[in-house]
């Protein structure tokens, strides 16, 4: 009766496309929030930015609104195409490219800022993020900044991972914790449309993020706004 | 009424001293179990071994029993003295030193095996352990091994270790909170009989973090049975 979609993040994006579209009310609100976050914790105010995991451009446009010259990258081609189209419509200058953050196509020391906004860490394993941090360090100029926002999953698990979440259109709950891989598995059910799927979420917490960044060479500071919003800022000395 | 000892593990080790002493019944049993476990799982059984966090030497004597030439180190002077005393009594050739594992006073390429036995990682932050591994890498011979006995503490924590409990007879443990900046669980220990209380930091380790830090330091990692992790210097 219910269709099993397997292990995928896709429906969480597809069913909530409006959340990631910079033209919708929710999209605008998210853009405003990211702008506020950046204004509050960014030690620099202008320059060249690489926005990793740009999606349809919410974070990239927030950066442009602050006065940065922005290049957004994402591994999903459809989203990059959408972002380009939206940029044209809204008259933004931001450039968008399909690129893997583990192999950045930029020369050493060419950027002022690298950002990972909108909580992309669940998609990245500890090894993925290690490579990205090293690449970010390479492409940043001295005094360049790496800025990321993420959820503190160790805290979340510690405080009660068993709560079910009923959040239109999904019902979701914890299935398992795989500590060999550092992943949590969650089951999502869409009752109205009749399908279910699992997502694997990579676990992150400030001390692990900070370890990786410091090892890559960054000086690091973390701002804890809440379990779902931890900001860590790395500066290349 | 209760005296505050501040941040220390001392009351815990005082209370559970028997467990680490080969002359107690409990210690005898642990010695036999550990010897059997190591003889089954260690890929080498001879050469020079460094036993980090040796306490009163129980694990060092187990390694010696297998055929290693053993050096044990610990940061607690009291336990090292006890290990030396026990070595003399047993006619053991194992040597014991008070030493910080983050600063090993040995030459490069000295050891065939480095051991961290008896679940010691909770004492080390990710940064401590990273330093220790750099040192271990230096004193280990190429292609040689580090063996770590460790449980999955994050798993335990999430599965309900969150509740207060008895750490030993008359020793109450209450978990205060997790510190996610440094990755530890802050605990309150109350020794009801002695009328003292103290706090300690119990660092959170879990296989994926441990594997990552080991690999980052140039080790090839294998998770085995019974909480034994074997890593080879690449």
Give the nearest chain A residue to B131 (CA atoms): A215
Question: For residue A70, how far is the Cα from the chain centroid?
Answer: 16
Of residues A155, A181, A208, nearest to B178 (C-beta): A155
Residue B106: is it exposed, middle or buried by C-beta count within 10 angstroms (0-12/13-18/19+)?
A: middle
Q: Give the percent of chain A with pLDDT over 90.
A: 84
- How does the average pLDDT of chain A come out, rounded? 94
Short-list A7, A20, A11, A3, CA closest to A184: A7
Of residues A180, A205, A215, nearest to B207 (C-beta): A180
CB contact under 8 A, B216 and A215: yes
Residues B133 and B181 placed together within one structural domain of the fold: no
pLDDT score of B162 more than 70: no
In this prediction the pTM is 0.92
Residues of B whose CB is below 8 A from A127: 212
Give the nearest chain B residue to A223 (CA atoms): B181
Residues B174 and B217 placed together within one structural domain of the fold: no
pLDDT band per the 50, 70, 90 thresholds, residue A1: confident
Give the nearest chain A residue to B161 (CA atoms): A158
Out of A6-20, B109-123, B219-233, least confident range: A6-20
CB contact under 8 A, A155 and B127: no
Residues B191 and B108 placed together within one structural domain of the fold: no
Of residues B152, B183, B223, nearest to A205 (C-beta): B183
Residues B119 and B211 placed together within one structural domain of the fold: yes
pLDDT score of A218 more than 70: yes
Residues B88 and B100 placed together within one structural domain of the fold: yes
pLDDT score of A75 more than 70: yes
Tell me which residue has tokens 């081609």. Answer: A77
Whether B192 contacts B113, CB under 8 Å: no
Of residues A126, A157, A207, nearest to B181 (C-beta): A207
What's the confidence (pLDDT) of residue B7?
87
More confident residue, B188 or A161: B188
What's the confidence (pLDDT) of residue B10?
81
More confident residue, B3 or B213: B213
Residue B12 within any structural domain of the chain: no
Domain that includes residue B172, residue range: 154-202
Helices (H), chain A: 10-14, 17-20, 25-41, 58-65, 77-90, 126-139, 153-158, 206-216
Q: Give the percent of chain B with pLDDT over 90.
A: 76
Residues B38 and B66 placed together within one structural domain of the fold: yes
What's the confidence (pLDDT) of residue B228?
93
Give the nearest chain A residue to B159 (CA atoms): A158
Task: Encode pLDDT of B52-93 as tens digits.
Answer: 999 999 999 999 999 999 999 999 999 999 999 999 999 999
Residues of B whose CB is below 8 A from A208: 126, 183, 209
Angle at A121 between CA A120 and CA A122, to 5 degrees: 95
Distance from CA of B84 to the nearest CA of A (A): 37
CB contact under 8 A, B216 and A130: yes
Q: Mean of the pLDDT values across residues A114-133? A: 96
Q: What share of chain B is helix, strand, coil (3-state, %, to 5)?
A: 35, 35, 30
pLDDT band per the 50, 70, 90 thresholds, residue A129: very high
Residues B182 and B220 placed together within one structural domain of the fold: no
Whether A42 contacts A145, CB under 8 Å: yes
User: Would you list the domain boundaries of chain A?
Assistant: 9-153+204-235, 156-198
What's the confidence (pLDDT) of residue A15?
86
> What CATH number does the domain containing B32 carry?
3.40.50.150
Task: Encode pLDDT of A157-214 as tens digits.
Answer: 888 766 788 888 899 998 988 999 999 999 999 999 999 999 999 999 999 999 999 9
Residue B4 within any structural domain of the chain: no
Could you tell me which residues are beta bridge partners of residue A96? A72
Residues B49 and B118 placed together within one structural domain of the fold: yes
What's the confidence (pLDDT) of residue B155?
86
Residues B118 and B147 placed together within one structural domain of the fold: yes
Residues B159 and B61 placed together within one structural domain of the fold: no
The ipTM estimated for the assembled molecules is 0.90
CATH class of A9-153+204-235: alpha beta
Q: What is the DSSP letter of B121?
A: G
pLDDT band per the 50, 70, 90 thresholds, residue B182: very high
Residue A177 in contact with partner chain B when CB distance is under 8 A: yes
Q: Mean of the pLDDT values across residues A132-155? A: 96
Whether B129 contacts B181, CB under 8 Å: no
What's the confidence (pLDDT) of residue B169?
84
- How does the average pLDDT of chain B come out, rounded? 93
Taking the C-alpha atoms of residue B212 and residue A129, their distance in angstroms, rounded to an integer, is 12
Taking the C-alpha atoms of residue A215 and residue A193, their distance in angstroms, rounded to an integer, is 46
Task: Encode pLDDT of B115-159 as tens digits.
Answer: 999 999 999 999 999 999 999 999 999 999 999 999 888 888 887
Residues B135 and B169 placed together within one structural domain of the fold: no
Residue B31 within any structural domain of the chain: yes
Residues B125 and B35 placed together within one structural domain of the fold: yes
What's the confidence (pLDDT) of residue B161?
63
- Per the structure, the count of domains in chain B is 2
What's the confidence (pLDDT) of residue B8?
85
Crossing angle of helices A206-216 and B126-139, in 10° steps, is: 50
What is the Cα Rg of chain B in Å? Answer: 18
Residue B129 within any structural domain of the chain: yes
């Amino acid at each position: 009766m219910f269709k099993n979609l397997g292990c995928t993040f896709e429906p969480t994006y597809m069913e909530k496309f409006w959340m990631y579209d910079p033209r919708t009310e929710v999209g605008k609100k998210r853009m405003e929030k990211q702008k506020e976050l950046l204004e509050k914790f960014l030690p620099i105010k202008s320059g060249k930015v690489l926005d990793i995991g740009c999606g349809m451009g919410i974070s990239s446009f927030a950066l442009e609104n602050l006065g940065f010259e922005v290049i957004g990258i994402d591994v999903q081609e459809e989203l990059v195409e959408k972002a380009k189209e939206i940029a044209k419509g809204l008259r933004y200058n931001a450039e968008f490219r399909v690129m893997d953050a583990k192999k950045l196509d930029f020369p050493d020391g060419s950027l002022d800022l690298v950002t990972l906004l909108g909580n992309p860490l669940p998609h990245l394993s500890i090894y993925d993020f290690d490579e990205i941090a090293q690449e970010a360090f390479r492409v940043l100029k001295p005094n360049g900044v790496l800025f990321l926002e993420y959820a503190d999953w160790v805290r979340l698990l510690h405080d009660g991972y068993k709560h079910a979440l009923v959040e239109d259109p999904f019902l979701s709950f914890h299935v398992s914790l795989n500590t060999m891989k550092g992943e949590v598995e969650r089951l999502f059910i869409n009752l109205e449309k009749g399908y279910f799927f699992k997502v694997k979420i990579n676990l992150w917490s400030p001390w692990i993020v900070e370890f990786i960044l410091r090892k890559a060479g960054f000086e690091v500071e973390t701002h804890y706004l809440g379990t779902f919003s931890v900001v860590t800022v790395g500066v290349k000395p | 009424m209760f005296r505050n000892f501040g941040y220390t593990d001392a009351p815990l080790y005082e209370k559970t001293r028997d467990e680490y002493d080969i002359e107690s019944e409990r210690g005898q049993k642990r010695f036999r179990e550990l010897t059997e476990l190591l003889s089954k799982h260690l890929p080498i059984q001879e050469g020079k071994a460094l036993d980090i966090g040796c306490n009163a030497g129980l694990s060092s004597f187990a390694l010696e029993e297998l055929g290693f030439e053993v050096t044990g180190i610990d940061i607690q002077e009291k336990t090292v003295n006890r290990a030396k005393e026990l070595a003399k009594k047993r006619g053991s050739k194992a040597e014991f030193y008070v030493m910080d594992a983050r600063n090993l006073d040995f030459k490069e390429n000295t050891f065939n095996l480095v051991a961290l036995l008896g679940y010691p990682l909770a004492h080390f932050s990710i940064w401590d352990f990273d330093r220790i591994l750099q040192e271990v890498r230096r004193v280990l011979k190429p292609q040689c091994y580090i063996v770590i006995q460790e449980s999955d503490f994050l798993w335990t924590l999430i599965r309900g270790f969150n509740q207060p409990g008895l750490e030993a007879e008359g020793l109450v443990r209450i978990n205060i909170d997790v510190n996610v900046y440094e990755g530890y669980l802050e605990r309150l220990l109350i020794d009801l009989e002695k009328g003292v209380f103290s706090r300690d930091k119990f660092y959170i380790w879990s296989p994926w973090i441990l594997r990552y830090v080991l690999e980052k330091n140039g080790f090839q990692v294998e998770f085995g049975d019974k909480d034994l992790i074997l890593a080879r210097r690449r």
